[in-house]
Chain A
Amino acid sequence: MLIFEHSRSGRTNPVQAPRGEAAKSDIPQRFRRRHRPLLPEVSEMQAVRHYTRLSRQNYAIDTHFYPLGSCTMKYNPRGCNTLASLPGFLGRHPLAPTPTHGQGVLACLFELQEMLKQVTGMQEVSLTPMAGAQGEFAGVAMIRAYHESRGDEERAELLVPDAAHGTNPATAIMCGYKVREIPTDAAGDVDIEALRQVAGPQTAGIMLTNPSTLGVFERRIHEIADIIHSAGGLLYYDGANLNAILGKVRPGDMGFDVIHLNLHKTFATPHGGGGPGSGPVGVGKRLLPFLPIPVVGRKGGSYYWLTEQEYPQSIGRLSAHMGNIGILLRAYIYIRMLGAEGIERIAEFATLNANYLMKRLAQNGFEMAFPERRASHEFILTLKNEAKQTGANAMDFAKRLLDYGYHAPTTYFPLLVPECFLIEPTETEDKATLDGFAEAMSAILQEARTNPELLKQAPHSLPVKRLDDVKAVRKLDVVWRG
């Protein structure tokens, strides 16, 4: 039932609304609304019951194992939420004067900048991008501003591996670049020879994820950096997979000129049903002048905003204020609770869990895309043989996993591995959960062999059965009309 179907005309919640007879008659008629919007008229309890009921139709980290590859669905510590929600933080207006009413929050943000510099090996960090894709935008816009500042305006091409996240090519286009795809070799690394062929005076840079979206570490990263830098281009690091290498190797040391981080992945801030995220960017020396503003500065023990004055060549502002500060505070609290050792353990246990689960699934007869490689924090399994033998494809396996109480891994990405699952368990899952998942996969494989229809019709035990996505597009219904 929709909330609108609980609605009855004339029902109000006067205790939620402000008191008083509010005259509005001095607003001239020509500006005024003539009929009320279609908002529900429900009691507080009806609203609470309705949305509580809806919440229970979700799989979430707090309720289910959620091994969605490339999304780093790790536990979101409750303490981060509670402490970021203290009244002093929630109530602070973005334009409140920083000398008298902002030193507390700015101290946290300044320290977060410093800590992110430490863990990434970059020279300076701007926290302002509001999600990974906006961080990517900021990074590529800085690359463009850098070339333009040198009068080097022939560089119209950005190189993107074929396994990259869709946001990479989409971002390149938003920044006015052409995209050139670089193929992957059989072992899962960037095809270096192909890269040599295309890198040249038209190359603005390359966007890379390392470990790549294929779940393996790009071993020849130094060579790639040399090729791109010799051609006059810059290296962009997509931080989606930073969880795999925290404390082990830093993007700055690998030769990257600019990076973005996904705090909602690596630093345990909530995914919130699709955001808010946070996508800080870090830069090396070359891109320092172009950082998006504002950045937090410190002088004589007090904190203040660095703006156009300090960064006259900045690419500019990306949000009305300074991004998703409430999310930045959560990441700050998380890092403070972990400390240097805790940060290093993240990559260790994320990698341990991924390699363990990969081995268990391989022992159970599943085929890995890169069996001879170490998994990073995630790995790829291909169901192409199972699909051929049983008729049940990766999507059918994914939907059946839901019946077993597991959120499905990422399916059909990266596009170059057929019928694939990208599986990322994260460090916060225990061995028993991983064992349970591996057993469920085996049970489903058995089902696929004996009764593939069971998979093709799945899920069976959720609030709805398999949904018709084609109909959702053909008979577009995106607004309830009663």
Chain B
Amino acid sequence: MPFIPHTADEVREMLALIGAQNIDELFSEIPLELRLRESGKLPPALTEMEVGRLMQERALQDSQPLCFIGAGAYEHHIPAAVWEIAARGEFYSAYTPYQAEASQGTLQLLYEFQTMMASLTGMDVSNASLYDGASALAEAVLMAVRVNHKSKSRRVLMPMTVHPVYRQVVRTIVHNQGIELVELPYCTECGNTVPDSLHRFADEDFAALIIPQPNFFGILEEVDLLTDWAYANGILAIGLVNPTALALLSPPDEWGGQGVDIACGEGQPFGAPLSSGGPYFGFLCCRESHVRQMPGRIIGRTTDTDGKAGYTLTLQAREQHIRRSRATSNICTNQGLMTTAATIYMALLGPAGLEQVAACCHAATRKLVENLGAIEGVEMQFDRPFFHEVVLVLDVPVQPLLDRLAQQQLLAGYHLGADYPELGNALLVCCTETKSDDDLQQFITLLSEAMADLRRSRC
């Protein structure tokens, strides 16, 4: 029997001890009228080899195109050692470290993770992960509303330069608690949130302002001015950051005169494969004064009865299994294995390696921008500093172009039409360190050919 070790003799002995005639008798407390009379219509069992063949075929169907899509999920090189270690059974098949003494491996690793994330963001403390970047932002909003006692409004300023799906997810998660998200427009020429545009909100009451860096368009926001404005108006600042970019860009703790109150984001760039969108992990860091309002697991260092250092889940009085209806969040299981991979990723790259990754991402994107002149009918939409994504405007419709290039195994970018119709034929393109000069050349060649063909077919 698959994954069940019992022999027929053992089953007999066990039933004899229980005092039951057969296994079915063990279900005698389930009312008979509820019992399922026939097996469900599931497909027949397959052997590992048979299911292996099926999955090979399916994986091949999805092929491995040359991909220039970013938009919240980024292709990076993952050092071989990351998953060789993270997939060890001792990490893979353990659970939440409730028994601290028997979980020191996971606990110490998470303490190291918290230290690395706190240092990267410059914040005092980090939790041990949330589900993903979008849900981490939603938790940050809930946390900010709890923390900001000065504000009575439960209103939060949400720039339109935040990932459109993140905005939807935050709404799904917070609106039942009466929290209102007020959209901040952006400059369609520059692609950023214009700090001066905030002045009209100066007399209104808000709990928090979200500040993405880089923003969804890849553009760098004027984070110092935005953070200072929030501080001056008694509004909490939430930094939404890309962890790779943080190796190059100023940490949210240093934005403006005071730094942000909460920094959060998507951890996927650190060791998580693209994997159709998950599993990834969300991270959330904050000032120490807010730590008791944090959602999720937090690991603390303490000592054992001999005075030796050890690690344990701490501040559990915030959590649902202790505080129940008064918990800071309902989160229980988080994304432990993904943070395991991220910790090993950061350890292998170190500060210099991570900076090199970020710099190479930026350099590849810069190189692509410089070569755009070779393509007729392509312009940069925004003329502002960027990290590793840029918005291109085309003189042909985007969707037929992308469909055509996909047939040629090139995924040329993310179509912005549905979310930002005001930008016209706009395409969001991402280059990471995985894109070689040959890849960039192929992008230029295939894109110009396809655009020329589309233009001809329209004439």
Is A416 interfacial (CB 8 A cutoff)? no
A56 touches B41 (CB 8 A): no
* CB of B395 to closest CB in A, whole Å: 22
Binds B, one of A65-73, A193-201, A281-289, A385-393: A65-73
Q: Give bound CA distance, A26 to B112, whole Å.
A: 33
Interface stretch, picked from A92-100, A228-236, A440-448, is: A92-100
**Are A97 and B411 in contact, CB atoms less than 8 angstroms apart?**
yes
Q: In this assembly, does B258 line the interface, its C-beta being within 8 Å of a C-beta of chain A?
A: no
A476 vs B299: C-alpha distance in the bound complex, in angstroms? 10
Q: Is B373 an interface residue (CB 8 A)?
A: no
Q: B108–A47 contact, CB under 8 A?
A: no
Residue pair A89, B90 in contact (C-beta under 8 Å):
no
> Known contacts A174-B177, A348-B23, A373-B29; is A56 also within 8 Å of B351 by CB?
no
Which residue of chain A has its CB nearest to the CB of B268? A320
Complex CA–CA separation, A410 to B63 (angstroms): 44
Q: How many residues of B contact A (CB 8 A)?
A: 203
* Bound CA–CA A40/B302 (angstroms): 22
Most buried by B among A275, A327, A459: A275
In the complex, chain B residues whose CB is within 8 Å of the CB of A149: none
* Shortest CB distance A144–B (Å): 6
A55-B90, A104-B62 given; A38·B40 CB < 8 A: no
Q: Within 8 Å of chain A (Cβ to Cβ): is B338?
A: yes
Q: Does B300 contact A473, Cβ atoms closer than 8 Å?
A: yes
Q: Report Cα–Cα, A101/B274, bound state, in Å.
A: 13
Report A321 CB to chain B, min CB distance, Å. Answer: 3
From B113-121, B200-208, B230-238, the one touching the partner chain is B113-121
Question: Do residues B93 and A62 form an inter-chain contact, with CB atoms below 8 A?
Answer: yes
Say whether B97 faces chain A, with CB atoms less than 8 Å apart.
yes
Q: With an 8 A cutoff between CB atoms, is A202 at the interface? A: no
User: A94 contacts which chain B residues (CB < 8 A)?
Assistant: 72-73, 274, 276-278
**Cβ–Cβ < 8 Å partners of B456 in chain A:** none
Contacts of B59 in A (CB 8 A): 86-89, 104
Interface string of A408-425 (1 = CB under 8 A from B): 101001000000000000
Q: Quick one: which of A323-343 are within 8 Å of B by CB?
A: 323-327, 329, 333, 335-343
| Complex: A42 Cα to B135 Cα, angstroms | 33
Pairwise interchain contact A274-B96, C-beta atoms closer than 8 A = yes
Q: Does B13 contact A (CB under 8 A)?
A: yes
Q: Please state if A131 and B331 are interface contacts (CB–CB under 8 Å).
A: yes
Q: Is B297 an interface residue (CB 8 A)?
A: yes
Decide yes or no: A356 and B18 within 8 Å by CB, A217-B29, A478-B301 being known contacts.
yes
Q: Tell me whether A248 and B332 are in contact (CB under 8 A).
A: no
Q: Are A51 and B276 in contact, CB atoms less than 8 angstroms apart?
A: no
| B104 within 8 A of partner (CB) | yes
Say whether B135 contacts A57, CB under 8 Å.
no
**What band does the interface of chain A fall in when counting residues whose beta carbon is under 8 Å from B?**
35 or more
Cross-chain contact B99 with A398 (CB below 8 angstroms): yes
User: Are the C-beta atoms of A254 and B34 separated by less than 8 Å?
Assistant: yes
Asked if A144 and B354 make an inter-chain contact with CB atoms under 8 angstroms apart, the answer reads no
- Alpha-carbon separation in the docked complex, A31 to B254 (Å): 10
* Selected contact of A469 from candidates B43, B44, B314, CB within 8 Å: B314
State the Cβ distance, A128 to closest chain B Cβ, in Å. Answer: 9
A319 vs B212: C-alpha distance in the bound complex, in angstroms?
Answer: 17
Known: A97-B406, A402-B102. A322 touches B277 (CB 8 A): yes
Question: Cα distance A100–B44 when bound, in Å?
Answer: 29
Q: Tell me, in angstroms, the Cα distance from A59 to B164 when the chains sit together.
A: 41
Nearest-CB distance from B379 to chain A (Å)?
19
**B67, B125, B366: which contacts A478 (Cβ < 8 A)?**
B125
Q: Are A359 and B322 in contact (CB under 8 A)?
A: no
When C-beta atoms are compared, the residue in chain B nearest to A175 turns out to be B176
Q: Which of B4-12, B144-152, B183-191, B441-449 contacts A (4 or more CB under 8 A)?
A: B4-12
Q: Known contacts A105-B62, A463-B104; is A316 also within 8 Å of B169 by CB?
A: yes
**B257 part of interface (Cβ distance < 8 Å):** no
Evaluate contact between A39 and B347: CB separation under 8 angstroms: yes
Please give, as numbers and ranges, the residues of chain B lying within 8 Å of A338 by CB-CB distance: 2-3, 45
16 examples of A-B residue contacts, CB within 8 angstroms = A30-B224, A30-B250, A33-B248, A39-B116, A44-B348, A57-B108, A62-B93, A104-B61, A137-B173, A170-B330, A249-B34, A272-B335, A273-B97, A273-B337, A276-B333, A408-B102
Known: A276-B337, A340-B43, A467-B100. 15 other contacts (CB 8 A): A22-B359, A32-B248, A56-B90, A93-B276, A103-B62, A118-B42, A166-B324, A174-B173, A271-B93, A274-B336, A336-B45, A340-B41, A342-B1, A342-B45, A352-B11
Sorted nearest first, the 7 A-B pairs with minimum C-beta distance are A321-B277, A62-B89, A339-B45, A272-B337, A88-B59, A94-B277, A274-B336
